[in-house]
Amino acid sequence: MDANARRVNPVFCTIVPPHVLDKLARAEDPAIAGPAARTLEHDALQRTRRRITTVRGLAPSVSGTVSDKPDRTIYDAGHQETVPGTKVHSESDEPAKDATVNRAHAGLGATFDLFLKAYGRHSIDDSGLPLNATVHYGEKYGNAFWDGERMVFGDGDNDLFLDFTLPVDVIGHELTHGVTQYTANLEYFSQSGALNESMSDVFGALIKQYSLGQSADAADWLIGAGLLGPNVTGVALRSMKEPGTAYDDDVLGKDPQPARMEDYVRTGRDNGGVHINSGIPNHAFYLAATALGGNAWERAGRIWYDVLTGGELSTTARFTDFARLTVAAARARFGEGEEQEALLKAWSQVGVPTN
């Protein structure tokens, strides 16, 4: 292994949780159950394959000076379950006729911009990693995922789920799994897995806010707004402001996310509830960011980034470990002031000790 390589676990991470797809796969309407079952089976198979080949070395993608510009390439799977597919768009190309291709290109760029301009990070690996994405994956595939190397987008069924390139925070969420993969490499199980998911929601939300020029007070704090079909009773996949309220639908079910540790969900499914219990650290971030006000990526986001990349966060970290490190990071960067106080209060409100 290269001396600069890191030992990582490139897990298979999706934006739509397994518990949602499982609910849909049991629907009476075959037009709903069929695509959901195929998506669920696909995702389960991919997770199994990732577990078989879990540990590998990832070296920095380039040496020397890295560019302050992204290097994006979009591929088209042509509704097959193959990656990368046919190359359809490069960095220097004019906008494509396919709106999905253009949205994928723009979302990769928005993610690159937030990490570079707010935190000085050059792409996912901080060494200028090219950003690749595959669109039009599968037949009515109802998900988007980071597979350890690229972003992959399904088109949805145009009923429950629309095109997965529509919400920029979905793109940011999945690419942030790559950032986590190259930094803290949080194990995708139980509380460390929920922290992994929460990191992606936090930076997905920040990418949306940065691209829109929104302050913490103006943001909706929703993950996946615009993804749900017009007949779904819901507004998004998750809410950082009010976990558990993103949707309540006869077909999708009810958003199960808790906002406090007293409601922590103990389950053997979804890798120990990684998409469910992420609501707790998500809400802590929302509380801290809105208490501080202004642009959330400047102070609260900076603290979260410092912890993610600082080298002290264990791969098996629990919520209390992460909370303690955020308070320490706030003190180290900003001193003993309102940032530290906002963090202490936020973690207290969600029931997570900081010592």
Among all residues, which ones are annotated catalytic?
174, 275
What is the CA angle 151-229-46, rounded to 5? 35
What's the one-letter identity of residue 133?
A
Alpha-carbon span 18 to 41, nearest angstrom: 10
Whole-angstrom CA distances from 188 to 37, 144, 205, 272, 337 are 23, 17, 20, 9, 34
Helices 338-349 and 319-334, axial angle in degrees (round to 10): 170
Alpha-carbon span 107 to 227, nearest angstrom: 15
Alpha-carbon span 279 to 198, nearest angstrom: 7
Q: How many secondary structure helices (H) and strands (E) does the chain include?
A: 10, 12
In DSSP terms, 239 is beta-bridged to 222
- Asked if 76 and 136 touch (Cβ cutoff 8 Å), the reply is yes
Share of the chain residues as helix, strand and coil, in percent rounded to the nearest 5: 45, 10, 45
Q: Sign of torsion, CA 286 326 125 91?
A: positive
Helix (H) or strand (E) holding 239: strand 238-239
DSSP letter (8 states) at residue 80: S
In DSSP terms, 238 is beta-bridged to 223
Helices 190-212 and 270-277, axial angle in degrees (round to 10): 40
